[in-house]
Chain A
Amino acid sequence: MQGWVTQLRKGLVELSVMKVLDRDEAYGYQILQTLNAATRLELTESTLYPVLARLARDGLVIVRPAPSPTGPPRRYYRLTAAGHARLKEMTSHWIGVRDAVDHLLNGDTHESSSPQPAG
């Protein structure tokens, strides 16, 4: 069961990270704290930072280094235009999947697949 839960969470990390960056730029640890406070994804840094590196590599986010009061410079991530487009697409897919699974779990499959009576 735990394996299924973690796989499910893993698939949602990218979407969640991009959603956090949709509103404003944020640095890595800030994203981690935001996600763990707002969701039950229970993210850790070994999951988040590779995702950020990949998003940067794919041109979906841009990085702005800025001095930090606590130590090394922070890297602020912001969605690019391609990132916003990808987020919109992913959100649409997620809503479709979520609705389909909700229908399935609520036992709505019979109604939705039954032919409508004529006339």
Chain B
Amino acid sequence: MSQAAPSLPDDVRRRIDDHLDAIERVLLAGEVSRTERRTIVDEVETQIYDMLAARPEQDPATAVTAILAALDPPAAYAGSPGLTGQGSPGPCGQPEGTTTSSAASEQAAAASDMSKPFREGLLIGNLRRQWRRWWSPSSSHRRVSPPAVVGAVWAGLALFLALMSAAAHRPPDPLIGLLLLVGLSGIVGVTVLGFVAVRRIRRSEGREYGLPLALVEAFLFPTILANLALIGLLSATDGAGLVVLAGLIIIAANIALGRYAWRRFGTRFLDRVGSY
């Protein structure tokens, strides 16, 4: 990193580099941009050498030990205020619960590794940021509508669980019950996500696509429920001749629903955007 660093013993130089690398890892985990990472790390490095120069009477190893102990631990750079990609900061840019280490050994430990809860916090924070970034409307590139993708996964899971539970022929144990809950909630969830996806696609001016998928999601479970209701209604009536009539009614109802969905959402969208 340095261009004119005075010669230091290798082990001393390595300890400084370890500290700087640990800071960079924390900043990298916080998705701070490369330029900002370089600025911060270079500033810390310059400060270390300035502090070293102010201790000419000490041997370099002792001086570096004291200097690293006096500096903020790398974990203090998590949540640096206002930087690209960083989350909410703790007091003075230092995360809650972290303090400046006073012992050299603690400093070395902080430089080489972060505590487990802190790492987990970073991981969760990163996942949340990744999720928000993926879910929020894109302004730069075209992609499949995120609600449509989530809806498709949820619909697949719900249908799979419905088939599994139908094939099981036994009372649901707690795990099956939980999975069934996920599946049943999909009836509402997938439908809502389908309509959300349709709305986002129509408003995205071409940046999001997947309208057919979104329409299928929006009308999948209502159609299935409507079909089940029709089947139940018609099977309640006697007479084998009604089976053909029942089939025709169901087919006609599905065609009508499909035509309505496409006319209501699809063609208007195509008129406006020109592609899907």
Decide whether A and B assemble into one complex: yes
A43 to chain B, nearest CB (A): 7
Interface residues of B in 45-60 (CB under 8 A from A): 45-53
The chain A residue with its CB closest to the CB of B26 is A46
CB < 8 Å neighbour of A56 from B1, B32, B39, B92: B39
CA of A44 to CA of B23 in the docked complex: distance in angstroms?
14
B186 to chain A, nearest CB (A): 43
* Set of chain A residues within 8 Å of B6, measured between Cβ atoms: 70-71
* Set of chain B residues within 8 Å of A75, measured between Cβ atoms: 39, 42-43, 46
A73 to chain B, nearest CB (A): 6
**A68 sits at the interface (CB 8 A):** yes
* Set of chain B residues within 8 Å of A51, measured between Cβ atoms: 81-82
CB < 8 Å neighbour of B72 from A3, A7, A44, A63: A44
Cβ A6 vs Cβ B92 within 8 A: yes
CB < 8 Å neighbour of A71 from B32, B53, B84, B89: B53
Cβ B72 vs Cβ A57 within 8 A: no
* Set of chain B residues within 8 Å of A54, measured between Cβ atoms: 36, 81-83
The chain A residue with its CB closest to the CB of B39 is A53
* Set of chain B residues within 8 Å of A42, measured between Cβ atoms: 92
* Set of chain A residues within 8 Å of B39, measured between Cβ atoms: 49, 52-53, 56, 63, 75
Cβ A50 vs Cβ B82 within 8 A: yes
Q: How large is the interface on A (under 10, 10 to 19, 20 to 34, 35 or more residues)?
A: 35 or more
Bitwise, A88-111 to B at CB < 8 A (1) or not (0) is 000000000000000000000000
* Set of chain A residues within 8 Å of B53, measured between Cβ atoms: 69-71
Cβ B42 vs Cβ A46 within 8 A: no
Interface of A is mostly: helix
Which of B5, B6, B47, B52 has the most C-beta atoms of chain A within 10 angstroms of its own C-beta?
A: B47
Cβ B92 vs Cβ A43 within 8 A: yes
B100 to chain A, nearest CB (A): 7
User: Known contacts being A51-B82, A52-B39, is A45 close to B72, with CB within 8 Å?
Assistant: yes
CB < 8 Å neighbour of B94 from A46, A48, A70: A46
**A10 sits at the interface (CB 8 A):** yes
A35 to chain B, nearest CB (A): 12
A98 to chain B, nearest CB (A): 20
CA of A42 to CA of B6 in the docked complex: distance in angstroms?
30
Cβ A46 vs Cβ B36 within 8 A: no
Bitwise, A70-94 to B at CB < 8 A (1) or not (0) is 1111110000000000000000000
List the interface of chain A (C-beta within 8 A of B): 2-3, 6-7, 9-10, 13, 27-29, 32, 42-54, 56-57, 63, 67-75
